Structure 1
Amino acid sequence: MILFFIKRIRFYILFSLLCSFHWGLAQQKLAAEIQMPAFSKTTVGEVFQLLKERQDVLFSFNGNILQMDSVIYPRAYRGNLYDYLDGILGKEYSFKELGKHIIVQYTPQRMSVDFEVQTPRKDKVVITGYIKNIRTNNPISNASIFDRSALLSTLTDKNGYFELDVKKKSNLIAVNVSKEMFRDTSVMVIFPIEAQIGDKKKREYGYFEGYEEDHGLYRSFFGRVFLSPAQQIQSMNLGGMFLYSPYQISMTPGLSSHGFIRSQIVNKFSLNIIGGATAGVSGVELGGVFNINQYNMQGFQVAGVFNTVGGNVGGVQLAGVGNRVFGTVKGVQIGGVLNKVDTVRGVQIAGVANTAKEAARTTQLAGVLNNSSGNVGIQIAGIANKAKKVKGFQLAGIVNIADSSDYPIGLLNLIKNGEKSLSLAIDENRYLGLQFRSGGRVLYSVLSVGAALVDDGPSKYAFEVGLGAVLLNTSKFALRTEITTRNHLTDKFKLLDNHQSSFRIIPAYKLTETLSIFVAPSFNYAERDEDTISGTGTRWKTWGRDRTRNTFYGGGIAGLMLKL
């Protein structure tokens, strides 16, 4: 009878306490003694900065509910940091300490915890109870109930009811209760078993700085499709707190070895057969189809289809289709189709496109498109590159676009502060050509169309492409050099086989700010006309080509150039 009574007895709280819950850890920073001067008028931000310098703490909070420029009038104070913060901000705010971080939360509501404990088996404990609003006595739904040490978690239902199964009971369990807009609560439960408190290893924890800001992952396509509403609620309730675990294995995001608390766990090794959704990775993560990390990924991550990270990435990220990172990537990002990131430092490689808001000191390589709305290091793309300011060079099959890019290489280079000009010129073979130059302050491309003014055999028209460089540019004089290749066409625009290559030195005198005149010598190589019988060897000439033989020869070009 006594054993039955002990087995079924309801254990109520020994400590129904801690209106402000600090994850059950010693509060060294908040309990520290401080001395602060009086201020006739100051701001929250100035006080936080002074505390940061004196107490070596970092404050994290949501800027929407606590403004740094809010005016306050604190008196001189001597006592602990918690009471000082409570005095200057008011009772509607609560404070948690995680490492050096003091997390300030707006918690105007309070809750009560009423629970009981049952031990149906020797190796199992079931904690059940109700969570209510102290002021209204109404049940609180979707509150997070969890045991940090055992990695167990659940949510209350619409009646405020919860059940938490503890498979391996200790002599001490901390039942932690969190709910957005409510002050966190913790209750300690002691069981009549022989385990030693000191035998239990404390689980390592961490905090994601900046969590209080809007979290893009949940608003994204990946968040809406692959993260359950319960996961989003859990994340809001527990804030930026996360725990470390050696490993986790999941079949899908809802079927994981960590159960419901998986979204707050950072794993050293994570294996997702189909896909998984965790707090983050600090090691290696493998996904058959996808990996979703709520916060950071540090190490190596590979997925058959896609990786999505709500925070930052440090290391290597590989995906068969694409990678999406809402924070910063420092390392290498490789996607079969697409890479998209807020900020990247390192290398991005994609089969189709790379896109980033900021990519300074970064190399982007893509089969089709690279796009950075900020700065970038190097961009190489099969079709197009776009950036604000390019520190290195751009190489594109068709077009480069930038506000500033001194070394773009492409057919068209639309650089805001660079070269854009039209010229009308005639060369030694009496082809009248219209040339368009576009590029940066150093390198630029040349596109030209021309027509023969005299009989030149089957060739009637020509188009030319090339690469040029500005060697000198003063108010009255400019010096350029260009390498071009020309293709000839018949009067019916049939492409001929006699190509011509030229190297030019172009000195230009500026008649006005926009109009220049130039006379430029050139060294050329021209292939023979395709309908002639070839002579012996290649001919060298001082001036003009030989239509019957391949020819190295001197030439020139003269014309007018208009700066656009």
Structure 2
Amino acid sequence: MTSLLPKLLKIILVPFCFLLFCSTSFAQDLLQKSISIHVVNMPLHDVLAKMEQEGKFYFSYNSDIINGSQKVTIDKQQQSIENILNELLGDQYKYQVMDNHIIIKTAISQGIIVTGRLVEAESGLPIEFASIYEKSVLSGTMSDANGNFKLHIRQPLANYELVISKLSYEDTVLKVTKSFNGKAPITLKKTFYTLDSVDVVGIQNHWLASRLLSTKTKVNSVNLNSFFGKQPFQFSVLPGISSKSRLNSQIVNKFSFNLLGGYSAGVDGFEFGTVFNIVQKDMRYVQLSGLFNIVGRDMEGVQIAGVYNYVKREVKGVQVSGVFNAAHAAVTGVQASGFANWNEGDIRGIQFTGVLNKSNRVKGIQASGFANWNKKDMNGVQFAGVLNKNEQISGTQFAGFANYTSGNTEGAQIAGAVNYTRNKMQGSQIASLFNYARVIAGTQIGVVNIADSSEGLSIGFINIILKGKHSFNINTNEWQSLSASYKSGSDRLYNIFQIGGTLRANHKLLSIGYGFGNESRIGKKSALLNELIIHTVYAGNWNDQNILTRYQLMYQYKLRPKFKLYAGPAFSLLVFENKNTYSGFGRIQETNYPSFNLGNRVNCWLGWTVGVSIF
């Protein structure tokens, strides 16, 4: 067994050492490879690209450490790549070969720790809560109550440029090298100007975000309100504890992962937070959180939260939350929540919620388990379990209980109980109980229909047109001596409520009737009346059913504006239970007018009606 070990090691180590030697030799060979280059006043990144083409290899480098736009002139014939790079870049860089790539790195082996003290130029007093950052590597810190600060920049650079910002002070730029000692105080000059409160406060004024952001984070955002950077990635535990440290509120990230919650200037890709996400400005594409998302400006894409989504301005895309969505400007797309959607702007798309949708105006669909409420117009379709409320509507409203429009309605209102339009209704109102419109220019169908004036049709048990037809009528006919009726509605269709009877000895009869009528004008003072009335007749015993259906066609003549006479033929159909006669009462089925029977309990005859209409 022991004799096999040296052999195995020899078998493994010899090929490994050979490969290592080949790799090292290839690396050295690539840097020592000879090429020719001749350029005049060409940007550095174009020169490097030309060297790649000439030598058939590739460069890899961070654009932050090389000024690619710098113009250079060089003329080298059959020189090594390493010599040419030293000529172009100087001695501040080192090179590493990996496969067919030359990686350019800075020769500085470590970063820098910058310390200092900030004071007012005028008074010499310390300046607290000032923001200090190196903008090329996005490292930052803040001064303490005594004006002291300590900034550790881990990235090695040849030179560092610190920017110091503080509200009400002029921005100060400080060139720093490794020889900087920070013993002399750094002075800042005061300045006075008016700030837009929205730019300064931003999302930090939101009731929930303000409780989650520290004072230093808020002040830092105010100090740096005009500075924003971009980074591909951010990792956060909480706001202020992140890979971007003090500058997280000023960074727009392509990808952001927040272990509990995070705060950034913006997202231009994907953001996930197990608890919450707070974005100071715009959010684009996808934002997911376990509890809530808060965005200070626009949201474009998809926003999903377990409880709450808030966007200060416009939403273009999809908002989904378990409880509540809010947007202060327009929503173009879809909002879906378990409890409520609340918008100060317009909706162009679809709103779904379990309880309440509230918007400025809607062009699309609103669906709610309880209510939809729009301050202005609704163009589309509304579904609500209880209530729809709008200023104007052009479309269709469906509600389990009521639809309310404070202005005009063009379309349809369909409700389980009540439809109410304060101005003009052009379309259809359908409710099981009550419809109201100031002007009806369509159709009302319900138990009770009321309108101030009518250009359409009201169909219901009670139709009242306040500026329409109202008349009290007294008439007589072949089967009862006297009856009185009230007619209400419009000339197109009116209701008739009638009571009458016969009081002659041994021929008494009492009746209650309800019906519909139509008045068609045939002259300046003349009209034809078509009326259908159903009577319940009492002939001595309420247990005996006597139902009389009567159609009458009458000619009406107006003697005075409030006084009219009418008369005409009538056809009656009586359904009776038996032919019993009770003391003092007559039998309605007996008549001297032309009649015929339809079985044993149906009698039909021709008759007449004469009456007068008052007011």
- Which residue, 463, 471, 482 being the options, matches 1:432? 482
Task: Select the structure of larger CA radius of gyration.
Answer: 2
Alpha-carbon distance change, 383 to 489 in structure 1, aligned in 2, over 3 angstroms: farther
Instruction: Identify the residue that residue 442 of structure 2 maps to in structure 1.
Output: 392
- Which residue, 347, 363, 383 being the options, matches 2:433? 383
Alpha-carbon distance change, 542 to 315 in structure 1, aligned in 2, over 3 angstroms: farther
Alpha-carbon distance change, 415 to 190 in structure 1, aligned in 2, over 3 angstroms: closer
The secondary structure found in structure 1 opposite 2:111 is: helix
Instruction: Name structure 2 gaps, 5 residues minimum.
Output: 1-108, 118-128, 144-164, 170-189, 204-208, 233-248, 254-265, 270-293, 582-588
- Of stretches 494-503 and 367-376 in structure 1, the one that deviates more from structure 2 is 494-503
- Aligned equivalents of 1:360 and 1:416: distance in 2? 20
Encode CA deviations 1:243-302: one digit per residue, 9 max, x unaligned.
34112123444xx3x6xxx23241411112012212343222211121112211122221
- Which residue, 223, 236, 249 being the options, matches 2:304? 249
Alpha-carbon distance change, 9 to 504 in structure 1, aligned in 2, over 3 angstroms: farther
Offset at 1:562?
A: 1.0
Q: Is the 8 A contact 2:594 2:606 kept in 1?
A: yes
- Aligned equivalents of 1:500 and 1:137: distance in 2? 90
Alpha-carbon distance change, 554 to 190 in structure 1, aligned in 2, over 3 angstroms: closer
Instruction: Identify the residue that residue 524 of structure 2 maps to in structure 1.
Output: 475
Q: Does 1:554 align with 2:609?
A: no
Offset at 1:370?
A: 1.0
- Aligned equivalents of 1:335 and 1:270: distance in 2? 20
Offset at 1:143?
A: 6.2
- Which residue, 575, 582, 585 being the options, matches 1:527? 575
Higher RCO (C-alpha under 8 Å, 6+ residues apart): 1
Alpha-carbon distance change, 454 to 300 in structure 1, aligned in 2, over 3 angstroms: farther
Encode CA deviations 1:121-168: one digit per residue, 9 max, x unaligned.
978878997656999889998865459xxxxx97999999534499x9
- Aligned equivalents of 2:197 and 2:449: distance in 1? 56
Instruction: Name structure 1 gaps, 5 residues minimum.
Output: 11-113, 148-152, 173-188, 194-199, 204-230
- Aligned equivalents of 1:116 and 1:4: distance in 2? 18
Which TM-score applies when normalising by structure 2?
A: 0.53
- Aligned equivalents of 2:416 and 2:445: distance in 1? 12
Letter in 2 for 1:319: S
- Aligned equivalents of 2:166 and 2:505: distance in 1? 98
- Which residue, 91, 116, 119 being the options, matches 2:131? 116
Encode CA deviations 1:368-402: one digit per residue, 9 max, x unaligned.
21111111122112222111211111122024233
Encode CA deviations 1:17-42: one digit per residue, 9 max, x unaligned.
xxxxxxxxxxxxxxxxxxxxxxxxxx
- Aligned equivalents of 2:116 and 2:231: distance in 1? 15
- Aligned equivalents of 1:414 and 1:273: distance in 2? 46
Instruction: Identify the residue that residue 543 of structure 1 maps to in structure 2.
Output: 594
Encode CA deviations 1:344-370: one digit per residue, 9 max, x unaligned.
001111121111022332211112211
Instruction: Identify the residue that residue 533 of structure 2 maps to in structure 1.
Output: 484
- Aligned equivalents of 1:135 and 1:404: distance in 2? 69
Q: Does 1:162 align with 2:219?
A: yes
Q: Is the 8 A contact 2:434 2:447 kept in 1?
A: yes
Offset at 1:431?
A: 4.6
Offset at 1:325?
A: 0.8
Letter in 2 for 1:343: Q
Alpha-carbon distance change, 248 to 524 in structure 1, aligned in 2, over 3 angstroms: same
Q: Does 1:417 align with 2:525?
A: no
- Aligned equivalents of 2:191 and 2:132: distance in 1? 26
- Aligned equivalents of 2:250 and 2:322: distance in 1? 39
The secondary structure found in structure 1 opposite 2:535 is: strand
Letter in 1 for 2:476: I
- Aligned equivalents of 2:555 and 2:191: distance in 1? 85
Letter in 1 for 2:444: Q
The secondary structure found in structure 2 opposite 1:485 is: strand
Q: Is the 8 A contact 2:480 2:500 kept in 1?
A: no
Percentage identity across paired residues of the two chains: 20
- Of stretches 517-526 and 405-414 in structure 1, the one that deviates more from structure 2 is 405-414
- Aligned equivalents of 1:333 and 1:423: distance in 2? 44
Letter in 2 for 1:335: A
Which TM-score applies when normalising by structure 1?
A: 0.58
